[in-house]
Structure 1
Amino acid sequence: MNTNRGYDAPERRGALLPDAGAMLDEHGRAPGAPSRTGTGSGPAADAARVDEARAQAGPSAEAEVNVLVSHCDRAGADAVLGVLAEAFPGMTPPVLEGAAGPAAATSVWSTTVDVRNRAAAASPRARPAAPVTAELDGAAEPVRQVRAVLEDAFAGEHLGTVSGEHELQVALRLSARPA
């Protein structure tokens, strides 16, 4: 009794694979021929074109830190954001997320800081009346730079850190330095 039901018939057999003696691989290439993306055996990339493409790509996400300022009133957020704007002149203007009005306890101000544009020194323009929570998120070294600026300008209490493979999240409670 034949149980193969024609599956071994020559017209039903697919192309041989390299391990079965084929002269082409499963993509139709001769053995040893480089693939478009695989072996890297092609010519090296033109360095000038690579640099030009990187320049056109704009700011690198590796140099940006997302900053969230919360658990404070508008004056407290302005104090923290003012220090960041002075220290990093190319900073993205802050965006208010959450409720508006006098009972806006859930307000969050967010901004993005590019650490490649750093000024010499920053000083607090105003002192927050109450502690302010700042959350920093980005690549590890840029987050450390923004944290250093904030801790130089304010008394900082470290609330926690979450480390990822290539990024870092830091939560700080900032308050006015004692006089």
Structure 2
Amino acid sequence: MTTTDEITVEVVEHDPHDGDAVLAVLAEAFQATTEMAPIPMPLAPLPTTAMPGTPASTMPMTATPPTPATMCRARSFLTTSGAAVSVHSSPAHLSRPVDVDILGPADAVEQARALLAGVFTVQDLGWVSGEHEFETRLRLT
């Protein structure tokens, strides 16, 4: 018996082309249902060397190269348990590592993880198991 499950995939990217590559692999194998607008992720504040109480206007300014904005995009997909899933994509090149969170029923999350591992190098960063759902965080390179 096959069942249809929904997974939600969040992609944290520095380059939109990298996020597109990841989502395209998933869309080739699963039916996309919804996509949220990209959400800017806050960057960590730059460290300062000023002594406490030093006015910011007296701190020396140094030129730093611009950092690409980090964005988070989410999309939902329908998966079919028990169905063979494969993609015809060749291994994709990412300009920078992309972090991916996958949330849904454990079998569906594992199916998506295995699919991504067939196209990208996957590093498992952690997982959380709930009563009905499973969430995993991956780093793709």
Question: Quick check: TM above 0.5?
Answer: yes
Which digits, 9 at most, give the CA deviation of each residue in 1:134-177, with x for residues without a partner?
Answer: 000011111111111011110000000001111100000001xx
Match of 1:20 in 2: none
The reply on whether 1:94 has 2:32 as its aligned counterpart is no
Match of 1:168 in 2: 134
Alignment partner of 1:144: what SS? helix
Deviation at 1:124, TM superposition (A): 4.4
Larger Cα Rg: Structure 1 or Structure 2?
A: 1
Q: Is the 8 A contact 1:65 1:137 kept in 2?
A: yes
Structure with a larger share of its residues in helix: 1
Structure 1: how far apart are the matches of 2:35 and 2:84? 19
The reply on whether 1:74 has 2:16 as its aligned counterpart is yes
Unaligned runs of 5+ in 1: 1-59
Aligned residue pairs, count: 113
Structure 1: how far apart are the matches of 2:92 and 2:114? 18
Query: Which fold has the larger relative contact order, with Cα–Cα distance below 8 Å and residues 6 or more apart in sequence?
Result: 2
Q: CA RMSD in A?
A: 2.7
Structure 2: how far apart are the matches of 1:169 and 1:120? 20
Alignment partner of 1:128: what SS? coil
Match of 1:155 in 2: 121
Q: Which runs of 4+ in 1 moved over 3 A?
A: 117-120
Unaligned runs of 5+ in 2: 41-65
Which digits, 9 at most, give the CA deviation of each residue in 1:6-55, with x for residues without a partner?
Answer: xxxxxxxxxxxxxxxxxxxxxxxxxxxxxxxxxxxxxxxxxxxxxxxxxx
